[in-house]
Amino acid sequence: MSTAAYLVCDFCYRHCRLKDGEIGFCGVRERSGDTIFTHNYGGLVSSAIDPVEKKPLYHFLPGTNTLSIAMFGCNLTCTFCQNYAISQRAWEAGAQRTYYTAREVVQLARDNRCPSISFTYSEPLVWQDYMVEVATFAKQEGLKTIMVTNGSFSEEALNRISPYIDAFNIDIKGDEAFYRDYCGGSSRPVWKAIEHIAPSKAHLEITTMVMEGVHTKQMISSIGRRLYSAGVQVWHLSRYFPRYKEQKRETSEHFLQEMVKVAKDSQIPFIYPGNSSLDQNTYCPHCKTSLVRRSWVFRESIIDHSHCPECGRHIYGTWS
């Protein structure tokens, strides 16, 4: 039997064309004969019980914990990566793994009374076969599923994954030049994913890490207008801190506050500062009633069956 010259991995927008024995851009997907497989399938490089607000998700099951898990790998090369030791190819050989079957992950969530499982820390796209297997069992057990992702889906992956995920947090990191200069990628597949997920039944929140001296008011304004046009309801703007190869000074609270003001002009109803001491409470966009009070994580909510108790306005989210 002859072997095809190339096989295409459809896990992300790169569509790596692999010869026999070649490994994809992510360092995780490898071809062997007529099969492309995921290295160290089920080998978790990180797991933890987190407040769901740390994903960040502020409008999805607030006040609950989530079981967070990651396998190794990523399909971007962000110079500021916060989790480079479990995502970037140069660090793969030294990664420490603990192997779990999909059923064992679900049982771990149940044992720790977590109503959800989060696929996070690294980039779940590159180990989506394991993610989908875990999510399948999770949904059978009545658990919710969360994907924290850079959003650079292929069309095939977006269609494959969407039925299994209840809530997404997607990074939109900057404009196209920012992706080219700092991420080794493209914003185009990310926008396609956002525009696909925002009108769907899945919950969606967006995160942008703001780098002082790089992100501008014009960039944030442009991103905000496009997110609003797509139907996005929740946008987190987080402070940058030096990490990995990027050693620019940390973003100041003042600069973040200015960018949040610019973002609010987009008319997205819920905008939050992240990694910050700034006000992260949720207010009714109609009557301005304080609905959720937070100090780093969830503290108190007065939302009444997804509505503001004062004016009756529907509040986007999954609240119980």
The alpha carbon torsion through 287, 275, 237, 70 (nearest 10 deg) reads -120
Distance (Å, whole) CA 72 – CA 308: 41
The pLDDT value given to residue 2: 57
Share of the chain above pLDDT 90, in %: 94
Q: Are the C-beta atoms of 45 and 71 separated by less than 8 Å? A: yes
267: tokens are 């008319």
259: tokens are 């960018």
Q: What is the pLDDT of residues 167-180, one digit of tens each?
A: 999 999 999 999 99
Distance of CA 76 to the CA centre of its chain: 13
Average pLDDT, the chain: 96
Residue 320: is its pLDDT beyond 90? no
The pLDDT value given to residue 218: 98
DSSP 162: G
The pLDDT value given to residue 274: 94
The pLDDT value given to residue 100: 98
Which class for 254: exposed (0-12), middle (13-18), buried (19 or more C-beta within 10 A)? exposed
In order of 169, 199, 242, 312, the CA distances from 285 in angstroms are 21, 20, 34, 11
Distance (Å, whole) CA 318 – CA 304: 12
Handedness of CA 116, 134, 190, 208 (dihedral sign): positive
Decide: pTM greater than 0.85.
yes
Q: Are the C-beta atoms of 171 and 151 separated by less than 8 Å? A: yes
Q: What is the pLDDT of residues 86-143, one digit of tens each?
A: 999 999 989 999 999 999 999 999 999 999 999 999 999 999 999 999 999 999 999 9
19: tokens are 């010869």
Distance (Å, whole) CA 115 – CA 109: 7
Residue 182: is its pLDDT beyond 70? yes
Work out the number of other CB atoms within 10 angstroms of the CB of residue 300: 13
Q: What is the pLDDT of residues 200-254, one digit of tens each?
A: 999 999 999 999 999 999 999 999 999 999 999 999 999 999 999 999 999 999 9
Q: Where are the alpha helices (DSSP H) in 112-205?
A: 128-140, 155-161, 176-178, 188-197
Q: Could you state, in order of their start, the residue ranges of all structural domains in the chain? A: 41-279, 281-320
Domain covering 41-279 in this structure, CATH number: 3.20.20.70
DSSP 58: S
